[in-house]
A = this chain, B = another copy of it.
Amino acid sequence: MTRTAPLDIDAFRRDLGDIPVEDNPKLVLQKSRDFYWYSPVLKRQLDHVTADLVVTPRTIDDVVTTLASAHRHGVPVTPRGAGTGNYGQAMPLSGGAVLNLAGLTKVVASSPMTVRAEAGAILARIDEETRAAHGAEMRFHPSTYRTATIGGFVAGGSGGVGSIRWGGLRNFGNIISLKVVTCEASPRILDIEGTDILKVAHAYGTNGIIVEAEVPLTAGYDWVDVLAGFDTIEDAVRFARNVALQDGMLLKEIAPIAAPVPHDYFVRHQKFIRKDQSVVVMMAAPQAMAALSIFLAHEKGEMLYRSDAASEEDLKRLPPAYELAWNHTTLRGLKVDPSITYLQTQYPDLETLKKIIALLGDEMPMHNEMIRFDGRVVFSGLPIVRFSTEERLEEIIRIHEDNGCLVFNPHRYTLEEGGMKRSDPGQLAFKREADPKGILNPGKMIAWENPDFDFASGKAWLFSGLQSAGAD
């Protein structure tokens, strides 16, 4: 899809009627960004990316009107929640319109079992409502809980805090249904359920615009934030694995992080942490705290901080534990040392993990997130990488792969290269139906743009239409 004629943005805009539109270039640039700059590779590739304008629908009908107009005039449309993704998920590679869904914020319905909310509803706000109404909360959330939207999480995320109990969004049963608007002459509003959910979830909005999501709830608690200290990262990961296997102790988050990351990057928690201490960040149900503190002592860990025993002052001053974990670990690192970056990995067992730790040492301070993956506790990884060159980064990835570890490359902006490195026929087929002109979030699905791309080539795919694509 190469731009053959200048986009008729004016005609597109005229057909939007009174739907709010922003075209101030500075503001449009702001809303054309996410946290792609965690990656020096994506920073180089995507830094110039911006939309022509931002459309902010107030209702689902506004979304329908916008997509009809986009289809009519061939204007690319890239949906955006809060822009908290890390791989350019919400960045408009071909310009056109950013569809800012942050205006759709309603919690549509809830029960003790499930909640249905509009795409732009912020995760923490949804939980506030369901906790007040039912003592229940969603199963998981990213570390950007306080800003991220449910639509963005479902379209661009994979799991997070809670994944130690519930696996990932991709696991059957973790999304109940989605309401999706297609990009056609007369856009349809589809209620997607069952296995069809997997075609639309985590597709970056390339094959339909998610406007509502229904997800299951679980018991809500005042989770206790815990930092536990260990002399070595090996001790920390062993403890993290052991505590993750304790079926009777309800934890929502378990993240072992190697020294000196906790001391150096968790600035507001610094007084609790020695520089040479590796830390396991946890969130525990209040009724698990007695067992957890005994188990921790038994495993020779040190209780550095627990929010249920913290001073009023510390409670006011400190960010919640989940804002030390997942991609927030990297974010805190980047604030202290802008030269670092990170990887997304998975280690099958403790022995392999220890081998990688020994091989890469302080060039890659380890950061794991304990998760359930198809019913088994595994070490997911978000290690910090002290970045030198893109070549060395590729080498570190190869070292992982050579040792049987999965890498979900966060330095790629396509669905396939950041994921399982193969195309998803279900997602592709659904794009053919829902986005026949291929104007939804162009450049993110290789299977659509370049069906013959060889994922085994070892080369990154480059979207030829990057910032110059248009309607055909």
Chain A residues within CB distance 8 Å of chain B = 112-114, 134-136, 165-168, 171-174, 176, 193-195, 216-219, 221, 244-250, 285-288, 290-292, 294-295, 298, 372-377
A172 touches B295 (CB 8 A): yes
Which B residue's beta carbon lies closest to that of A372? B247
A135–B221 Cα distance when bound, in Å, is 13
A294–B175 Cα distance when bound, in Å, is 14
- Which residues from B are CB-within-8-Å of A173? 246, 248-250, 287-288, 291-292
Copies per complex?
Answer: 2
A247 touches B171 (CB 8 A): yes
Minimum CB–CB distance from A66 to chain B (whole Å) comes to 31
Other A-B pairs beyond A171-B247, A174-B248, A247-B375, 17, CB < 8 Å: A112-B221, A113-B285, A114-B287, A136-B219, A165-B247, A166-B247, A167-B246, A171-B249, A172-B249, A173-B250, A173-B287, A173-B291, A176-B290, A194-B294, A195-B294, A216-B288, A245-B376
- Which residues from B are CB-within-8-Å of A112? 135, 219, 221
A290 touches B376 (CB 8 A): no
Contact of A113 among B216, B287, B372 (CB under 8 A): B287
- Which residues from B are CB-within-8-Å of A298? 195
Most interface-central of A134, A285, A287 (chain B CB within 10 A): A287
At the interface, is chain A mostly helix, strand, loop or mixed? mixed
**Could you pull out 22 A-B pairs where Cβ atoms are within 8 angstroms?**
A112-B135, A114-B287, A136-B219, A167-B247, A167-B248, A172-B246, A172-B291, A173-B291, A174-B247, A176-B290, A194-B291, A194-B294, A195-B298, A217-B219, A217-B287, A218-B250, A245-B374, A245-B375, A245-B376, A247-B373, A247-B374, A247-B375
A219 touches B216 (CB 8 A): no
List the 6 closest pairs (A to B, CB-CB), nearest first. Answer: A245-B375, A167-B247, A173-B248, A171-B248, A174-B248, A173-B291
- Which residues from B are CB-within-8-Å of A245? 374-376
Which B residue's beta carbon lies closest to that of A166? B247
- Which residues from B are CB-within-8-Å of A194? 290-291, 294
A288–B175 Cα distance when bound, in Å, is 10
Minimum CB–CB distance from A359 to chain B (whole Å) comes to 27
Which B residue's beta carbon lies closest to that of A221? B113
A217–B219 Cα distance when bound, in Å, is 9
A247–B375 Cα distance when bound, in Å, is 6
Minimum CB–CB distance from A46 to chain B (whole Å) comes to 32
Most interface-central of A114, A134, A172, A377 (chain B CB within 10 A): A172
Minimum CB–CB distance from A380 to chain B (whole Å) comes to 13
- Which residues from B are CB-within-8-Å of A291? 172-173, 194
A244–B171 Cα distance when bound, in Å, is 13
A249–B374 Cα distance when bound, in Å, is 11
A165–B372 Cα distance when bound, in Å, is 13
Most interface-central of A113, A135, A176, A288 (chain B CB within 10 A): A113
